[in-house]
Amino acid sequence: MQKLILTQTLGQKLSPQQIQFIKLLQVPTAELENRIEEELEINPALDEGKEENPEDLGENGEEEQIEDNEDEVNIEDYLQDDEWGGYKMYGDGNHAEEDDKDMPIAVVSSLNEQLVSQLGYLKLDERQTVIGKQLIGSIESDGYIRRDLEAIINDLAFSQNMETDVDEVESILMKLQEFDPPGIAARNLRECLLLQLERKHDHSEAIEVAIRIISQCFEEFTKKHYHKISKKLGIGDEHLLKEAVEIITKLNPKPGSSAGGLMKTQYLIPDFILANNNGKLELSLNSRNAPELKISRSYSEMLQTYKKSDKKDKKLKETVTFVKQKLDAAKWFIDAIKQRQHTLLNTMRAIVNFQYDFFQEGDESKLKPMILKNIANQINMDISTVSRVANSKAIQTEFGLYPLKYFFSEGIATDTGEEVSSREVKNTLKNLTSEENKKKPLSDEKLEKLLKEKGYNIARRTVAKYREQLNIPVARLRKEL
């Protein structure tokens, strides 16, 4: 027996205008012009240029209304939900004319996307492509395939209804191991290092020795037993051995983690310009963020003509509706661009105030621990708003171009109870490893102890995490002869 049951649910749904504004907020300056060009193309009621104040006035010196009050476009009405209630206009900032400062910034696709893209360049049949994609899906974030090939064969049988064997899968794996970054899709560290060395192969004696060390003396190498390696391989030249070891230590043990790999470079225009005028910090938006847009005069006049017309037939009503919709959309877009400017400026002002000491001197050690919530609380906006502003935005200072993400970092407690930026700790860690005795490099445990002596309360696992983020190898791989 079938029953018809009615249920009520309460939920929030973003309006199309809200979604458009969110997208506008996320757009970096470099792409804003394209976005405006798109809007100008699809909406003939939107025009470039300054608003025409005197000419827009009617005979009595009062501005003529394009539409009835109840239909006026008001951006705040579109943003009534709690999550977006923080988007308010706080007044225009000064948009000083400045020279365009185009700076390159790397835009990186994911490791999986890079590998699938490279797979497309191989002349594989459909079956081989399926196996290749299954193998790529098994590659971990550091670039290794640690799953047994038999397990991958089982996956293909269950998910793709494909029967295969180790030889076929391994033949495709070898093709993947020729992809960039070098060392990708290795099954262990030894294979990873060999793949990179073979890619470097130029028949030089040092690389030949390096390949022999990894292929025949890998265990001795990991334990730094250079005397045993020299004896086993019959290498009498200490300088040659040292050169070979140096080549190995410069290889990347985690090729996946560095897979900016295939980078495409685009030019990013700074969204903000910060000038230091005798100690007074002056913030402005890049002028490209303040385009001059206006309502098309011809469309405004067209609507007025239609409204005064005596004819009220269906076709005329449809025309009036179309024109009015385009005018509403144009007004909304102009307001949204202004809203974007104010939101960007408010957020950046809060960041500059929070990190005031850094912006005065450009000294990394002056950076305070700062999270999204700190800024959101200052400007009474949602954390998601701050996140959208910080994403893909940059500021030009006299010290260089910085992505906004650079200024956000977690805090580390010191012996005095104060918090310092994790960036400061990383800087100290980098200095410690660069100044160490390379014949006896500092272990993570020793680094932890030295950092604590400097007042940083930090655990060994955090030292290891920061070291990896700085691409500093473990102590045994930093050891030199």
**218-236 per-position pLDDT tens digit:** 999 988 888 899 999 999 8
Q: What is the pLDDT of residue 400?
A: 87
Q: What is the pLDDT of residue 166?
A: 93
| Mean pLDDT score across all residues of the chain | 79
**100-124 per-position pLDDT tens digit:** 444 444 444 578 888 998 998 888 8
Q: Are 385 and 376 in contact (CB under 8 A)?
A: yes
What is the secondary structure of 107-160 as a DSSP string?
Answer: EE--HHHHHHHHHTTS---HHHHHHHHHHHHT--TTSB--S-HHHHHHHHHHHH
Q: Are 160 and 134 in contact (CB under 8 A)?
A: yes
Q: What is the pLDDT of residue 65?
A: 39
Reduced to 3 states, what is the DSSP secondary structure of residue 72? coil
Q: What is the pLDDT of residue 25?
A: 83
d(CA 334, CA 324): 15
Going residue by residue through the chain (481 aa), what tens digit of pLDDT does each one get? 566 777 666 555 556 666 777 778 888 777 888 888 888 888 888 888 776 654 443 433 333 333 333 333 333 333 333 333 332 222 333 433 334 444 444 444 578 888 998 998 888 899 999 999 999 999 998 899 999 999 999 999 988 889 999 999 999 999 999 998 899 999 999 999 999 998 886 668 999 999 999 999 999 998 888 889 999 999 988 899 999 988 998 899 988 876 544 444 445 578 899 999 988 999 998 877 777 888 888 877 777 777 666 666 777 777 778 888 888 888 888 888 888 889 999 999 999 999 999 999 888 778 888 888 899 999 998 888 888 888 878 899 988 888 888 888 776 766 665 666 777 788 888 889 988 888 888 899 999 888 888 888 888 888 888 888 888 888 877 877 7
**Which domains, and CATH codes, for the chain?**
16-97+270-387 (no CATH), 110-261 (no CATH), 409-478 (1.10.10.60)
pTM of this prediction exceeds 0.85: no
Q: What is the pLDDT of residue 223?
A: 83
Give the residue from 175, 112, 189, 108 showing the smallest Cα distance to 144. Answer: 189
> How crowded is the C-beta side of 111, counted as CA atoms within 13 Å?
21
CA dihedral 288, 299, 339, 54 (to 10 degrees): 80
Neighbours of 395 (CB within 10 A): 22
Reduced to 3 states, what is the DSSP secondary structure of residue 264? strand
d(CA 443, CA 206): 28
Q: What is the pLDDT of residue 69?
A: 37
Omega prior to 255 cis, within 30 of 0: no
Q: Are 457 and 412 in contact (CB under 8 A)?
A: yes
Residue 139, amino acid: I
Query: Reduced to 3 DSSP states, what percent helix, strand and coil does the chain have, rounded to the nearest 5?
Result: 55, 10, 35
Q: What is the pLDDT of residue 107?
A: 47
Strand 411-413 and strand 419-421: the pairing is: antiparallel
Residue 36, amino acid: I
**367-398 per-position pLDDT tens digit:** 888 888 899 999 998 888 888 888 878 899 98
Sign of CA dihedral 349, 355, 356, 359: negative
d(CA 253, CA 256): 9
